[in-house]
Chains A and B, each alone.
Chain A
């Protein structure tokens, strides 16, 4: 079984400042990792994914994440946030084999960008 921990339930940040949203996971097998964003009153949008290869993954809207296998982390970063980045961010994992493509989600981090 897998579990995902997002320690920060809320992250306030000023516009144009950098931000890091933390994600740690636990799994007895290798996993694929994802970050999703949920804007107010909308569904989930895929930000980026790590399947294999380079551990630094670039996604949409200027976000990137780095996979660290030894620390079982997949933190999301953006060097300069915009007011429009205000949303809920979810980290998720699925096992490489078996598991039926089921996603296990973290509890989410609310990013609030302030002027």
Chain B
């Protein structure tokens, strides 16, 4: 498995501003993912972040809104840009670890946009 931390754990932001969420893993991993969980709903994949290459975004998510960095094999950031109340969600990062195809999740960042 892997131990994953996220910062901040929660934040309240004003519309029109941006927030950068950090994800730190205790071991080197190739594949990292960013998910969004809107209130009372399931998880939706935003993008896959691989070290040394551009992130791959899912349908409905664009780089200008959710820029992602992956500077090394243990760290990634997701920025939520020009926020609106509809961006209020839990944002989670995950990694594939242990060679068993299972994904392990961070504790999430709870974002409220007012």
B-side contacts of A101, CB under 8 Å:
31, 33, 48, 96, 101, 103
Cα distance A50–B113 in the bound complex, in angstroms? 38
Assess whether A100 is in contact with B48, with CB atoms less than 8 Å apart.
yes
Q: Which size bracket describes the interface of B in this complex?
A: 20 to 34
B-side contacts of A42, CB under 8 Å:
107-108
Assess whether B42 is in contact with A90, with CB atoms less than 8 Å apart.
yes
Contact with B along A92-115 (1 / 0, CB 8 A): 001000001111011110000000
B-side contacts of A45, CB under 8 Å:
105
Residue in chain A with minimal CB distance to B104: A46
Q: Does A51 contact B (CB under 8 A)?
A: yes
Chain B binding surface SS class? strand
Contact with A along B88-108 (1 / 0, CB 8 A): 000010101000111111111
A-side contacts of B56, CB under 8 Å:
100
Assess whether A94 is in contact with B101, with CB atoms less than 8 Å apart.
yes
Assess whether A49 is in contact with B45, with CB atoms less than 8 Å apart.
no
Cα distance A51–B1 in the bound complex, in angstroms? 16
Cα distance A14–B48 in the bound complex, in angstroms? 40
B-side contacts of A63, CB under 8 Å:
none
Cα distance A45–B42 in the bound complex, in angstroms? 14
A-side contacts of B104, CB under 8 Å:
46
Residue in chain B with minimal CB distance to A106: B42
Q: Does B41 contact A (CB under 8 A)?
A: yes
Assess whether B42 is in contact with A43, with CB atoms less than 8 Å apart.
no
Q: Does A83 contact B (CB under 8 A)?
A: no
Cα distance A103–B96 in the bound complex, in angstroms? 11
- Can you spell out 6 A-B residue pairs with CB atoms less than 8 angstroms apart? A34-B103, A43-B106, A90-B43, A100-B48, A100-B56, A106-B42
A positions within 8 Å CB-CB of B: 32, 34, 36, 41-46, 49, 51, 90, 94, 100-103, 105-108
